[in-house]
């Protein structure tokens, strides 16, 4: 069953702007992960945040997790054309499944 | 180079003709999984395997079979494909410890685009 749901479904921004997308989920989790997918290719892992963490950074990426609201956000700062992709959150509830949402499609305009 | 390799990348077949999509990983991962991706539905898990000879159903297993005879290989078998199995398929693997709350991220293959007519 689909656990995470991303919002918005699509996002179009100018190069240099920040992009923010959100993920909501339904059940308790061990960790939440964000992945990027370029044009029908395989997903690439970006960042993992554990349930006892509230914020994590990796380069231009910032992820927050609010377990009380069962939500997470991914912020991409100073976006570039190469950031154009679909972004998926995935929740790990410790049951050997990783449940993905439907994704947010980000378009960065030059 | 650490990778998950799927073959073929593209496959067009007809209803009822058995097919196999191969998946191989070179990272000695215990865990492997198959997903299908459809527009608006995200990735849905078909089957997964915790280790050799250990497989279990995901969320959408109907119409699919898998086997895990060796650690590195996890083929997906469609015994009698139907048009509703037209989709983009991904194999993924990771190092997972069932005794730990931390599981490593998934490594994905580049996908197999299947069309069943």
Q: What is the rounded distance in angstroms from the CA atom of residue B94 to the CA atom of residue A76?
A: 26
d(CA A89, CA A74): 9
Q: Does the structure show a pLDDT above 50 at B62?
A: yes
The tens digit of pLDDT for each residue in A4-32 reads 788 899 999 999 999 999 999 998 988 89
Whether residues A103 and B42 touch (CB distance < 8 A) is answered with yes
Contact B51, B67 (CB under 8 A): no
Cβ neighbours of residue A17 under 8 Å, at least 6 residues apart? A78, A79
Chain A positions touching B110 (Cβ under 8 A) are 41-42
% of chain A at pLDDT higher than 90: 76
**3 state DSSP class of B97:** coil
pLDDT of residue A3: 67
* Mean pLDDT, all residues of chain B: 92
Mean pLDDT, rounded, for A49-69: 96
Taking residues A59-65, report their average pLDDT.
98
Residue A1: what pLDDT? 47
Residues of B in contact with A31 (CB under 8 A): 101-103
Cis, bond preceding B8 (omega within 30 deg of 0): yes
Q: What is the mean pLDDT of chain A?
A: 92
Taking residues B2-10, what's their average pLDDT?
Answer: 95
Minimum mean pLDDT among A54-63, B18-27, B90-99: which range?
Answer: B90-99
Mode of pairing for the β-strands spanning A61-66 and A71-76: antiparallel
Share of chain A above pLDDT 70, in %: 97
């Amino acid at each position: 069953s689909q656990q995470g749901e991303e919002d918005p479904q699509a996002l179009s921004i100018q190069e240099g702007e920040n992009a923010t997308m959100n993920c909501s989920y339904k059940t308790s989790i061990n960790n939440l992960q964000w992945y990027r997918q370029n044009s029908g290719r395989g997903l690439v892992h970006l960042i993992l945040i554990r349930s006892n963490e509230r914020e994590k950074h990796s380069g231009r990426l910032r992820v927050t997790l609010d377990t009380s609201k069962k939500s997470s956000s991914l912020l991409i700062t100073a976006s570039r054309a190469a950031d154009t992709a679909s972004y998926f959150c995935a929740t790990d509830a410790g049951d050997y499944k990783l449940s993905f949402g439907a994704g947010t499609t980000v378009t960065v305009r030059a | 180079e650490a990778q998950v390799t799927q073959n073929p990348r593209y496959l067009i077949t007809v209803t009822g003709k058995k097919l196999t999509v191969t998946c191989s990983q070179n990272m000695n991962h215990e865990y492997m999984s198959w997903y299908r991706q459809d527009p608006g539905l995200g990735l849905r898990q078909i089957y997964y395997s915790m280790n050799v000879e250990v497989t279990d159903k995901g969320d959408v297993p109907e119409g699919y079979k898998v086997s895990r005879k060796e650690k590195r290989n996890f083929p997906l078998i469609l015994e009698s494909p139907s048009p509703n199995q037209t989709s983009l398929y991904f194999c993924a693997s990771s190092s997972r410890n069932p005794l730990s709350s931390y599981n490593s991220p998934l490594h994905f293959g580049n996908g197999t685009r299947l069309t069943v007519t």
